[in-house]
Amino acid sequence: MNLPEGFIFSQSSLQDFVDCRRRFELRYLQHLAWPAVETEPVLEAERTQQRGALFHRMVQQHLLGVPAGRLGRMIDDEDLKRWWANYLSFQKDLSGLRDLKGLFYPEISLSAALNGYRLEAKFDLVAVRPDGRAVIYDWKTGHKRPKRSGLASRLQTRLYPYILARAGAQLNDGQSFPPEQIEMIYWFAEHPAQLERFAYGPQAFQEDEAFLSDLIGTIQRLGVGDFPLTSDLRRCAYCIYRSLCERGVRAGDLDEAEGEADAEELGLGVDFEQIGEIEF
């Protein structure tokens, strides 16, 4: 099978393939739009997505130098107000890093070639410490905190450190970050004191490269009709293609979705590229 020319693999597309090969085929190869609601209640799901998107954009603007007070004045939502206060408390740690002459790269995209295709990651924040260590920060805005085991199994946790090791030289005066100098931290807006840290290293880098290479190779070898449905029916409840696949009509409950993982991890994520800059 030939992937579309110029196809770029992201953590979302790779996660879709791992979760359900049929979803990957419908979404990325057939580009099929299917009008099924992902979660119930619909309006609350939309508000959750918009709130999370706005929080990400506010953090980006703050890290780029926009005063916190100016950003805070635009908040008219209690959840977002709480997240912003939690972030500002946590930001004291980031400020300490900046005081030590650390470098911040918010909302930056990096890519690396593998198996003739490109892998891409968009980082919420990459912070380069004065000692040369690189820390990936990812902001999570779900109300329920995912389990460490669930986060560890996500493609994001494997792909992001790998890409930073492969393509991070442009953030480090032309010098690549050794895998053992990379760490990934998940920060939860509802649970700001409960960071989840994932150290990286040479063995993890080698394992991830082999895993990702095999994953892309598998996708390349598949032909039409070789993309079966997932056997995990829970995922179908949060998939827009469930009625097409005859896997039910009713959308999954948003609260239950957050109990399993962050909304973005079930295919409910926001395309931050489609969200405009905040105006003042």
For residue 91, pLDDT over 90 is answered with no
Query: For residue 252, what pLDDT is reported?
Result: 54
206-255 pLDDT, tens per residue? Answer: 999 999 999 999 999 998 889 999 998 888 877 888 888 888 766 555 45
Higher pLDDT, 58 or 238: 58
Band (pLDDT 50/70/90 cuts) for residue 31 is: confident
Query: For residue 276, what pLDDT is reported?
Result: 42
Query: For residue 175, what pLDDT is reported?
Result: 94
What whole-number percentage of the chain has pLDDT above 90?
Answer: 62
Please provide the DSSP assignment of the chain as one string.
-PPPTT-EE-HHHHHHHHH-HHHHIIIIIS--------EESHHHHHHHHHHHHHHHHHHHHHHTT--HHHHHTT---HHHHHHHHHHHHHHHHHHHHHHTT-EEEEEEEEEEEETTEEEEEEEEEEEE-TTS-EEEEEEE--SSPPPHHHHHHSHHHHHHHHHHHHHGGGGTTTPPPPGGGEEEEEEETTEEEEEEEEE--HHHHHHHHHHHHHHHHHHHH--TT--PPPS-HHHHTT-TTTTTTTS-SSPEEHHHHHHHS-GGGGTT---GGGSPPPP-
Does 118 fall in a domain?
yes
Band (pLDDT 50/70/90 cuts) for residue 278 is: very low
Does 75 fall in a domain?
yes
Query: For residue 253, what pLDDT is reported?
Result: 52
Average pLDDT over residues 177-205: 96
Does 268 fall in a domain?
no
Does 125 fall in a domain?
yes
For residue 272, pLDDT over 80 is answered with no
What mean pLDDT value characterizes the chain? 85
Higher pLDDT, 258 or 156: 156
Does 44 fall in a domain?
no
The domain tally of the chain equals: 1
Band (pLDDT 50/70/90 cuts) for residue 261 is: very low
Does 82 fall in a domain?
yes
Query: For residue 23, what pLDDT is reported?
Result: 93
Instruction: Let me know: does 21 contact 237? Beta carbons within 8 Å.
Output: no
Does 226 fall in a domain?
no
Whether the predicted model's global pTM rises above the 0.85 cut: yes
Average pLDDT over residues 7-28: 95
Query: For residue 69, what pLDDT is reported?
Result: 92
Domain region containing 193: 52-219
Question: Which domain CATH number covers 161?
Answer: 3.90.320
For residue 280, pLDDT over 50 is answered with no
251: exposed, middle or buried (Cβ count in 10 Å: 0-12, 13-18, 19+): buried
Does 24 fall in a domain?
no
